Amino acid sequence: MAETIDYLQFILAPQALNGLSLGVAVVLMALGLTIIFGLLDVINMAHGEFYAMGAFLALSLAGLGVGFWALLVLVPLLMIPIGWAAERWLIQRVFHSRDRHILTLLLTFGLGMILEDVLKLAYGPNTMRPETPIAGGTEILGMFLPNYRLFLIGFGLALIAAVWVVVFRTRLGAMVRAAAFDKDMASSLGVPVRRVYAGTFAFGVALAGLSGVLLAPIYSVFPTMGRDFILMAFTVVIVGGMGSIQGAVVAGLLLTQVQAISSLYISPVWSDPLVFGIMVLVLMVRPRGLFGRLGNA
């Protein structure tokens, strides 16, 4: 009996909590991706690079003496015009062609290549590790947890809730959902569709940047930091349903738990193939994912 409790307390629970903090971070990334896809049908291959950009911006601003709390506001604000410009100058160029799904995917892929190299050019290829903004740890139920991870879980969950409220409970969100459901109808009802498109893309990009700020102290900062992380976010979006907000949240928290627990029972090296295998399986059986799309849900 005591062994079981020890096992739960010292092995399973910490692993699950680690999974949760990663899960919250992944959901933040996946939210941006899924909102952009739900509204614009664009698979944003540069999302990982926007995430890295957010982390590097935070690093630079911190070097100038900007405090962590200010960064949480400042970095997303700085990312908004970048996202806006990318939508207006790149996405819109091919948005009305027949192959726009493929063309926008390719364009954002190219943008990702360039951004990654620009970051390398500006900061060098080496890994940087910012100081933890919230030091210390807390003992909960006999487990020692770093305070920053607790903060990340709490802040992340609050942010997810805030996105939810914005999309489903505000006039702005209603406009976005209307445009996602039927852009012509929305346009005739007075929704400024073009601005909603650009704004939504910018919002998704800002979320990616914010994730960068939040995760930099945990996962270190380097130009290709977005690559592995984005794979997980894509998997989450696909499993949850491309364009579904509920799906991103549920699948994000679920899959990171699968990853955390499977690395305990099988082996850490096999948790990635397992998660990607789930993605392929979902695509085969239910390509639209577990939940419905933005605008239809």
Partner 1 sequence: MREAVMTAVSLPRSPSRGPLNATHWLALLFLAVALVFAAVAWTTGNGFYLRLATEALIFAGLAMSVDLLLGYTGLLSLGQALYFGLGAYVSALVLRDGAPSFWLATGAALAAGALAGLVGGVIANRVKGVYFALITFGLAQVVAKAVYNTRELGASDGIIGIPQIRVTLGPLALDTADPLSFFLFVLGLTMAVYAGLAYLMDAPFGRTLAAIRANEKRVPFLGFNAWGHKLAVYVLAACVAALSGALYPMLRGFVSPELLFFHTSGNAVVTVIVGGVGTLIGPIAGSVLLTALRSVVGSWTEHHLIVVGVIFMLSVIFLRKGLVGALLPWLERRAAARARHGRRSAP
The residues of the shown chain that bind partner 1, judged by CB under 8 A, are: 41, 43, 90, 93-94, 99, 101-103, 105-107, 109-111, 113-114, 116-118, 120-121, 231, 234-235, 238, 242, 269-270, 272-273, 276-277, 279-280, 283-284, 287
Closest to partner 1 by CB, 122 vs 162, is 122
Q: How far is CA 188 from CA 36, 48, 92, 194, in A?
A: 22, 35, 20, 13
- Nearest-approach distance from CB 101 to partner 1, in angstroms: 5
Closest to partner 1 by CB, 43 vs 79, is 43
- Nearest-approach distance from CB 249 to partner 1, in angstroms: 20
Closest to partner 1 by CB, 77 vs 283, is 283
Closest to partner 1 by CB, 38 vs 76, is 38
On whether the CB atoms of residues 225 and 125 are closer than 8 A, the answer is no
Read off the DSSP letter of residue 112.
H
Closest to partner 1 by CB, 111 vs 250, is 111
Tell me the C-alpha distance between 268 and 278, whole Å: 16
- Nearest-approach distance from CB 273 to partner 1, in angstroms: 4
Integer distance in angstroms from the first to the last C-alpha of the chain? 46
- Nearest-approach distance from CB 34 to partner 1, in angstroms: 13
- Nearest-approach distance from CB 261 to partner 1, in angstroms: 18
Q: Nearest 5 degrees, angle CA 236-CA 237-CA 240?
A: 80
On whether the CB atoms of residues 233 and 279 are closer than 8 A, the answer is no
Using alpha carbons, select from 292, 247, 264 the residue that is nearest to residue 279: 247
